Amino acid sequence: MSTKREQLWQMTRETIGNGRLSVIMPVYNLRDEIAENLEATDRLYREHGIRAELIPVDDGSTDGTGEVLERLRSETIRPVICTKNGGKGAALRAGFEASRGEYVMLLDGDLDIHPKQTPYFFEAMARNGLDVVCGSKRHPRSVVQYPWHRRIVSWAYFTWVRLFVGLPITDTQTGMKLFRRGMLKYALDRMLVKTYAFDLELLAIAASKGAKIGEAPVVIRFGAKFGALKTRTVWKMALDSLAVFYRLKILKYYDKVMVPERTDLKPMVSVVIACPERSWMLEECLKGLERQTYRNFETIVLPDGVTGKVRPAEKRNLGIKAAKGEIVAFIDDDAYPDERWLERAIGYFSIPDVGAVGGPGVTPPNDGWRSKLGGRVYENVLVSGNYRYRYKAGGTRRDVDDYPSCNLLVRKDLLEKIGGYRTDFWPGEDTLLCKDILAAGARIVYDPWITVYHHRRALFRPHLRQLGRYAFHRGYFCKRFPENSRHLAYFVPSMFVAYLLLCAPAWALMGKLALVPLGVYLALVALTAMSPNPVTWIMTALGVVSTHVWYGIRFIQGLFARKAPCEFIGKDHANVN
């Protein structure tokens, strides 16, 4: 080994000192190579006297990678297993939460960039007083074998980043980065992107905090591993990157976002599940609770056999009464939680005026095609508008005035103060609960990382049946309980129905001009429903239109109704097909 290289390793040891280097390695379907990669990395750091912990994060692999990682678990190799594929951002955040080092290296698990380049990163950090060091394919000392089409896309993306985000580096996407722990924690606490533009957002947040960011050379030989860029990947990357720019430069979101302080307090949580009977979906929910990283909780399951045939609100009130916890967490039996559901929610209750916390109920990956179509309709911007955050992971943290009980955590003393759920309405009881929480002077906070997976009703009939009930009650509540129901967005589908009814007489007066709004609407539906699968595209578009029409009709019926029915439906589950 050259004297120069040994001097750099010595500098690395001195920089780390009595601390530790955490190496977080996202892994997906690398069963055949991950053991060799981890053992080589562990051996490298041992040979050079680096006190390091390796944290491979299995991001929901389907080829048995998780089992391999568990067999490798040791004092220096500490795997984190995510049962669902959540994307690189989610994997790295999970790894960070399990790490202990003062310095944190992000390193792709396939070792396209070998960890023997570590000392160059510490050299840059130590000599320039940097907080973040990024590997760069454009560094003058880098050696890169890179396909020409990737070079073009990389150059275009780099140009966009420099112009619109203003990062002082030439490469955001290379899979090796070194952070001081405090700066990485600051960025991870505020990031929202879980997949394509994760690296950009992470660095943009750090830069907005005033972090000193520099670059180090890398050696990358991709060989034949890189295939063609998928159009969908490029499109999603562009959308996520634009969202980062909007939050950074327009909203100034990262500077003012509320971040709950981490606390050593571990309040007891009572998880309440109202259900008609045992089912495979309930078993799925209970297994999700078994995997929770936060362990101080109890589970209260309330089937008809225990409570009698009563509505969900009445069941949940029984659960509140029986709860031993300081926090009551409500989840539907046809939903199941992310492993860190409770862990990520609990911190908000260290903020005195936060009374309730919720997060997205996303479509599960194991839903059937028609159920996924229902999910696509709910996620469509023309259907849910500013409320898409309820159904789609993402969006900003925010205060909300209404949130469904499929994913809602509330202080028990607050529930007792307001008398729990009202039982004279179903559905809509959670809207009234939220109204009462706000009236008590408490806040309801939404966080996109507090995730549950909520099975969807299949398109068309089950989806529209559920939607119609919600629309009717929303129309009725707009009249009787306007505090958190009288919003313009809820009226828009009814305005669309009124337009359709007026099209015929308008045609007689205005001719083809009367159909221009309809043409614009159908074009927007086609654009927002777009899918590589033409059948999925058409079905989603039909789902969006039928959703608007049926919601609009039922909302008008509720708006003019003298009384809203309080139905009892013994079994109303998603039909996952």
- pLDDT per position as a tens digit, 68-77: 999 999 999 9
pLDDT at 563: 82
Task: Determine the average pLDDT of the residues in 563-567.
Answer: 69
Question: 83 versus 553: which is more confidently predicted?
Answer: 553
pLDDT at 43: 95
pLDDT at 425: 80
pLDDT at 227: 47
Task: Determine the average pLDDT of the residues in 53-59.
Answer: 94
Q: What are phi and psi of 180, to 5 degrees?
A: -75, 140
Task: Determine the average pLDDT of the residues in 214-241.
Answer: 72
Residues 6+ apart with CB under 8 A from 430: 402, 403, 404, 405, 408, 421
Q: Among 41-45, 236-240, 257-261, 511-515, where is mean pLDDT lowest?
A: 511-515
pLDDT at 144: 80
pLDDT at 230: 65
Judged by DSSP in three states, 463 sits in helix
Q: Among 110-119, 211-220, 227-236, 460-469, where is mean pLDDT lowest?
A: 227-236
Question: 268 versus 152: which is more confidently predicted?
Answer: 268
User: Tens digits of per-residue pLDDT, 76-87?
Assistant: 999 999 888 888
pLDDT at 267: 94
Count of Cβ atoms closer than 10 Å to residue 223 Cβ? 9
Task: Determine the average pLDDT of the residues in 214-220.
Answer: 90
pLDDT at 349: 94
List C-alpha distances in Å: 176 to 151, 219, 538.
18, 11, 42
How many residues comprise the chain? 577
Judged by DSSP in three states, 159 sits in helix
Q: What are phi and psi of 56, to 5 degrees?
A: -75, 135
Question: 49 versus 512: which is more confidently predicted?
Answer: 49
Label each residue of 104-146 as H, E or C: EEEECCCCCECHHHHHHHHHHHHHHCCCEEEEECCCCCCEEEC
8 A C-beta contact, residue 316 and residue 420: yes
pLDDT at 570 exceeding the cut of 60 = no
Tell me the percentage of the chain whose pLDDT exceeds 70: 93
Judged by DSSP in three states, 475 sits in helix
Task: Determine the average pLDDT of the residues in 445-465.
Answer: 95
Q: Among 27-41, 81-95, 336-350, where is mean pLDDT lowest?
A: 81-95
Task: Determine the average pLDDT of the residues in 307-336.
Answer: 95
Residues 6+ apart with CB under 8 A from 429: 311, 312, 313, 405, 421, 422, 423
pTM of the entire structure?
0.85
The Cα 561–Cα 544 span in angstroms is: 26
pLDDT at 149: 66
Average pLDDT value over all residues in the chain: 89
pLDDT at 72: 93
pLDDT at 409 exceeding the cut of 70 = yes
pLDDT at 2: 66
pLDDT at 300 exceeding the cut of 90 = yes
User: Tens digits of per-residue pLDDT, 335-350?
Assistant: 999 999 999 999 999 9
Q: How confident is the model at residue 162 (pLDDT cuts 50, 70, 90)?
A: confident
CATH class of 9-255: alpha beta
Residues 6+ apart with CB under 8 A from 409: 269, 327, 328, 329, 330, 342, 345, 349, 356, 357, 358, 450
Q: How confident is the model at residue 222 (pLDDT cuts 50, 70, 90)?
A: low
pLDDT at 569: 45
Q: How confident is the model at residue 180 (pLDDT cuts 50, 70, 90)?
A: very high
Angle subtended at Cα 533 by Cα 531 and Cα 539, rounded to the nearest 5 degrees: 75
State the residue for tokens 């380049």: 117
